[in-house]
Structure 1
Amino acid sequence: MAQRIDYYFTPVSPWAFLGSERFHSVAVKAGAEIAYKPVNFGTIFPASGGLPLAKRAPQRQAYRQVELRRWADHLGIPLQLNPTHFPLADELAALTLIAADEAGADLAVLTTAFGRALWVEDRNIADRETLGEILEKNGVSRSLIERAESDEIRARRDSYTEQALAAGVFGAPSYVLNGEIYWGQDRLDFLESALG
């Protein structure tokens, strides 16, 4: 039976984007299944002692920029350190991914595409038209956005958020394997080892 990784993330996280291709490669190599769970960090941060970026101390904000640049250079990804549309609300993008997962779309492709749109192409993934274009470019109907805004999909995101809190998740991305959290794309080596 394939191992399952619960993937708790937000589509607007630069760290989730930086780790996306490597994470999916690790999962494929191990034959692991991924349960995609875009969650609401607006709920998780206050419950776990975290702060949204704008409320963090200047030193932490400055160091985040340094680390983003280091990792982007290390991975050869042309990251926009200060994209025009960030910070932005992640709700519609997250709900769209949940609806796409329900419809059987390739979430490995879509999660990476959403991150690339924001962090490389400097696009607004809170915008319906932008999301529709990304979906269509990746073979998914833009009509999915209507489903994304349904009560059922919103309830699913709420459920994922509750699951994240129960699992002890406090930051994005978090990969949970056999009840153990691997927080951050810089922990992918440990996740790969755990997968065997």
Structure 2
Amino acid sequence: MSRTVLYYFAPQSPWAYLGHRRFADLLRASRRDVAVLPVDYGRIFPASGGLPLGQRAPQRQAYRLLELRRFAEHLDVALNVQPRFFPVDGNPAALLMTAVAQTDGADAAMRLADAVLTACWHQERDIASDATLAELLDETDLPAERLAQSHQPEVKTRYDAHTQAAIDAGVFGAPSWVIEGELFWGQDRLEFVARKLGL
């Protein structure tokens, strides 16, 4: 079985934000490789019976905000539960991370993912804006030309392939990990991820 952890998430997911750094810590401790795979949940939700946030029942939306506050306090993570730029199109950031992962490697993509998630959920910046994404490349010491590269058709093709792979693996929510063929969903399942990684 592959020792590479498949990491599926959305750049605009608060749950991915809450779990990203803890997952990165587990990766370092386990010395596992990772495939950083931002995917399009606009395709995944219809395939898996999920609904976009705005189409969910009011009580589900209200409880989501309650749980976000609870987890942010529990984890001592700075989080704006209703940031200025949300809902937001995650595709531009996802395509940028796809380009970075392809060209600069998984460590660079993990670094950029952290910056993007933090920009959305803590700093309240518009992660759908090319201007913001250019700033985040600079802040993470990544080449400015990756932004133009992210607009190329081959990057979109790779992004679409990763999304289909997620659907085929049974992914339905963010963040999700596949480790040695086993699926884990949710930042609150990281304890089980740690066990699977032998930690």
Q: What interval of TM-score do these two structures reach, taking the shorter chain for normalisation?
A: over 0.9
Do structure 1's residue 80 and structure 2's residue 80 form an aligned pair?
yes
Gaps of 5+ in 1: none
Aligned to 1:138: 140
Structure 2 distance, partners of 1:20, 1:86, is 19
User: Residue 119 of structure 1 aligns to which amino acid in structure 2?
Assistant: W
The 3-state SS of whatever aligns with 1:6 is strand
Tell me, yes or no, if the aligned pair for 2:137 and 2:144 is still in contact at 8 Å: yes
Structure 1 distance, partners of 2:189, 2:48, is 20
Give a deviation string over 1:110-143, Cα, whole Å, max 9, x none: 1111000010000000000000001101101222
Do structure 1's residue 5 and structure 2's residue 2 form an aligned pair?
no
The 3-state SS of whatever aligns with 1:35 is strand
Tell me, yes or no, if the aligned pair for 2:36 and 2:110 is still in contact at 8 Å: no
Of residues 167, 186, 189 in structure 1, which corresponds to 2:188? 186
Gaps of 5+ in 2: none
User: Residue 8 of structure 2 aligns to which amino acid in structure 1?
Assistant: Y
Structure 2 distance, partners of 1:79, 1:142, is 28
Cα RMSD for the two superposed structures: 1.1
Tell me, yes or no, if the aligned pair for 2:2 and 2:180 is still in contact at 8 Å: no
Structure 1 distance, partners of 2:12, 2:144, is 19
Q: CA deviation at 1:2?
A: 7.2
Matches within 5 A, 1:86-125: 86-104=86-104, 106-125=108-127
Aligned to 2:19: 19
The 3-state SS of whatever aligns with 1:11 is coil
Aligned to 2:49: 49
Tell me, yes or no, if the aligned pair for 2:10 and 2:16 is still in contact at 8 Å: yes
User: Residue 137 of structure 1 aligns to which amino acid in structure 2?
Assistant: E
Of residues 117, 120, 129 in structure 2, which corresponds to 1:127? 129
Aligned length: 196
Tell me, yes or no, if the aligned pair for 1:13 and 1:172 is still in contact at 8 Å: yes
Tell me, yes or no, if the aligned pair for 1:96 and 1:148 is still in contact at 8 Å: yes
The 3-state SS of whatever aligns with 2:104 is coil
Of residues 153, 156, 173 in structure 2, which corresponds to 1:154? 156
User: Residue 24 of structure 2 aligns to which amino acid in structure 1?
Assistant: H
The 3-state SS of whatever aligns with 2:26 is helix
The 3-state SS of whatever aligns with 2:7 is strand
Aligned to 2:173: 171
Q: CA deviation at 1:108?
A: 2.0
Q: What percentage of aligned pairs have identical amino acids?
A: 44
Structure 2 distance, partners of 1:52, 1:155, is 23
Aligned to 2:60: 60
User: Residue 149 of structure 1 aligns to which amino acid in structure 2?
Assistant: H
Tell me, yes or no, if the aligned pair for 1:2 and 1:31 is still in contact at 8 Å: no
Moved more, 5-14 or 98-107: 98-107
Segments ≥4 residues shifted beyond 6 Å: none
